[in-house]
């Protein structure tokens, strides 16, 4: 059994006759970050890979609220749809390079996160979705600032090098994953991340921690 989180609080209240189907959307970096930190906390206590479902819904609700998005079921998909045009324009500027396996993203002059996938062909397939995850936060950044709806701020790294050095020095905690390989969690108070490792790194995502 694989732990998952729901991003549509009113899912079962949708209109009769509407069929559910998988979404191709990738969660925004900010929501993924919240979930990763909660899963890491759960794993550190010897518990499951589950995130805090209420906190996930709260994060989606906050995004819907500050963006003024109207939705019947508090659906993350509606939040993304409201930004479709801006996100499409943003992501059109980015294409994977030959043999590329990762990137460090910055939003508003501060490092937002890192993504790396061990094989270039796999990275190329995932690239568009990963860029969209950061683009959603990027197009919202100015709106969040204007409306004063930002909450805890992330620790500020203005260049990749200090962020990568902090990540390389962060202690790692490995445990069996739900499938193949090991689940690895990194956290030193400045940066945090999670990875699936099966011989080599399958996927690593990392980000600055929030300041207390």
pLDDT tens digits, one per residue of 83-126? 777 788 888 889 999 999 999 999 888 999 999 999 999 999 99
Residue 94 lies in a domain: yes
Is residue 15 in a domain? no
Indicate the pTM of the whole model: 0.72
pLDDT of residue 175: 80
User: Based on the structure, what is the number of domains in the chain?
Assistant: 1
How far apart are the C-alpha atoms of 66 and 47, rounded to whole Å? 33
Domain assignment present for residue 13? The answer is no
What burial letters (b/e) apply to 71-91, b meaning 16+ CB within 10 Å? bebbbbebbbebbeeebeebb
Which of 68, 62, 64, 75 lies closest to 14, judged by CA?
A: 75
Residue 36 covered by a domain: yes
The Cα 46–Cα 49 span in angstroms is 10
> What residues make up the domain containing 85?
24-208
Residue 108 domain-assigned (yes or no): yes
- 2 lies in a domain? no
12-16, 102-106, 117-121, 157-161: segment of lowest average pLDDT: 12-16
Q: Is residue 18 part of a domain?
A: no
């Amino acid at each position: 059994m694989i732990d998952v989180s729901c991003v549509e609080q009113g899912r079962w209240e949708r209109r009769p006759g509407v069929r559910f189907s998988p979404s191709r959307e990738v969660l925004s970096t900010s929501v993924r970050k919240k979930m990763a930190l909660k899963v890491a906390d759960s794993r550190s206590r010897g518990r499951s890979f589950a995130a805090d479902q209420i906190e996930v819904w709260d994060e989606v609700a906050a995004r819907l609220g500050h963006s003024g998005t109207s939705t019947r079921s508090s659906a993350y998909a509606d939040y993304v749809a409201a930004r479709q045009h801006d996100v499409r324009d943003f992501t059109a500027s980015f294409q994977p390079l030959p043999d590329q396996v990762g990137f460090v993203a910055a939003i508003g002059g501060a490092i937002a996160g890192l993504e790396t996938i061990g094989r270039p062909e796999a990275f190329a397939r995932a690239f568009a979705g990963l860029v969209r995850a950061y683009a959603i936060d990027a197009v919202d950044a100015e709106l969040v600032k204007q409306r004063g709806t930002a909450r805890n701020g992330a620790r500020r790294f203005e260049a990749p090098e200090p962020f990568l050095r902090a990540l390389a020095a962060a202690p790692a905690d490995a445990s069996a994953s739900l499938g193949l390989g090991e689940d690895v969690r990194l956290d030193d108070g400045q940066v945090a991340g999670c990875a699936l490792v099966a011989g080599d790194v399958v996927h690593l995502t990392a980000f600055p921690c929030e300041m207390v």
